Amino acid sequence: MEANDLFRLIDLDDRRAHDAAIDGLWQALMLGGALLERPTHGNLLGDEAPAYDGALVATWEACVALR
């Protein structure tokens, strides 16, 4: 999220990928792939770990090209 590069999650080692699979790894990778097609800027709204490994809430919006 900080690097604005969700698609790099595809390089997780097998153990981390297995552990993350139940928490939406494939959804994050799908979003990362979609974001490759259109310049965007991510905004982290919240990052908490109340019960286990944690969760984040973020928004992405299209970057507007300056003319």
Name which residue leads in pLDDT, 21 or 41.
41
Per the CB < 8 A criterion, the answer to whether 47 and 37 are in contact is no
What is the distance between the alpha carbons of residues 52 and 14, in angstroms, rounded to a whole number? 20
Burial class (CB in 10 A: 0-12, 13-18, 19+), 7: middle
Res. 3 pLDDT band, cuts 50 70 90: confident
pTM beyond cutoff 0.75: no
Partners of residue 57 on adjacent β-strands: 46
- Residue from 38, 43, 34 nearest 2 by CA: 43
Per-residue pLDDT at 50: 63
Res. 21 pLDDT band, cuts 50 70 90: confident
pLDDT digits (tens, 9 = 90+) for 32-59: 888 888 878 888 888 776 666 667 788 8
